Amino acid sequence: MLIEVKNLVKEYRNEDVITSVLRGLNFEIKKGEFVSIMGPSGSGKSTLMHILGLLDRPTSGVYKFDGRNTENLDDNELAMMRNEKIGFVFQAFNLLPRTNVLENVKLPLLYSKKKIDAETRAKKVLESVGLGHRLEYFTNQISGGEKQRVAIARALVNEPEIIFADEPTGNLDSKSGIQVMEIFQKLNDAGHTIILVTHETATAEYADRIIKIRDGEIVGDEKVHNKRRGDGNGQLK
């Protein structure tokens, strides 16, 4: 089991006022799954993704990642786990300004303890997302869809166990959005575990399984029967 969550609670305390964001979640995600976490804004889906992605800690409950209880890991160990086992794709791309595409993708390798030829590896990953011709471009010189593909390449460069995508199509036009989702499906077909966070049913349906969240509680966890697929040209089949 890659992800095991038991009674996961997250509360924010602000001068004696306690806000519950996640109220005792329980679920498991296996290696190789493509799961959407879906819910309206304020449902706690982003908070859940941050905890699952080891960017944040739960208030209580158990979170086992790759068989390891994450409760006792210190900041440095969490940073190392994020570096080696997790890749993130954000809605706003979060690319470094004034830096070219290749350097952006090399960034996680800068913090890696592994001995990898960063240049070769980053070029290979960029070619796999169809950006082999944009290596020297600066991030302000490419389109939104290309930016998100750079972000995906960056998430892949360290060969992570799992990729978290937080509203990856939120800032994209529909064609670019479909292209990005196609890449995720291709990666999943190749064996990557992917967790997609979104508020749109249409986007969520690219996955095999949807976990629905509302007000910090799971209100549904079901398989997708009519999985969406792109035709490879940014159109739906």
In this structure, the number of other CB atoms found within 10 A of the CB of residue 139 comes to 20
Closer to other proteins by CB, 82 or 134: give it: 82
Indicate if the alpha-carbon torsion angle 149, 92, 31, 57 is positive or negative. Answer: positive
Kindly state the tokens that stand for 41: 């804004």
Q: Does 45 bind other proteins (CB under 8 A)?
A: no
Contact with other proteins (CB under 8 A): which of 111, 140, 201, 220? 111
Closer to other proteins by CB, 102 or 178: give it: 102
Note whether 153 and 126 are within 8 A (CB): yes
Indicate if the alpha-carbon torsion angle 150, 151, 152, 155 is positive or negative. Answer: positive
Q: Give the sheet arrangement for strand 193-198, strand by strand.
A: 86-89, 162-166, 193-198, 34-38, 209-214, 217-223
Q: Tell me the C-alpha to C-alpha distance, in Å, between residue 236 and each of 46, 61, 92, 152.
A: 27, 40, 24, 21
Q: Does 96 bind other proteins (CB under 8 A)?
A: yes
Contact with other proteins (CB under 8 A): which of 7, 20, 59, 99? 99
User: Residue 4: exposed, middle, or buried by beta-carbon count in 10 A (0-12, 13-18, 19+)?
Assistant: middle
Q: Does 12 bind other proteins (CB under 8 A)?
A: no
Closer to other proteins by CB, 142 or 224: give it: 142
Rounded to 5°, angle at Cα 170 from 167 and 174: 125
**32 membership: H or E segment, kind and range:** none
How many residues line the site for other proteins (CB under 8 A)? 25
Closer to other proteins by CB, 23 or 50: give it: 50
Shortest distance in whole angstroms from residue 97 CB to other proteins: 8
Q: Does 36 bind other proteins (CB under 8 A)?
A: no
Q: Does 41 bind other proteins (CB under 8 A)?
A: no
Site string for other proteins, 135-174 (x = CB under 8 A): -------------------x---x----------------
Q: Does 55 bind other proteins (CB under 8 A)?
A: yes
| Residues contributing to the site for other proteins (CB under 8 A) | 50, 53, 55-56, 75-76, 79-80, 82-84, 88, 90, 94, 96-99, 107-108, 110-112, 154, 158
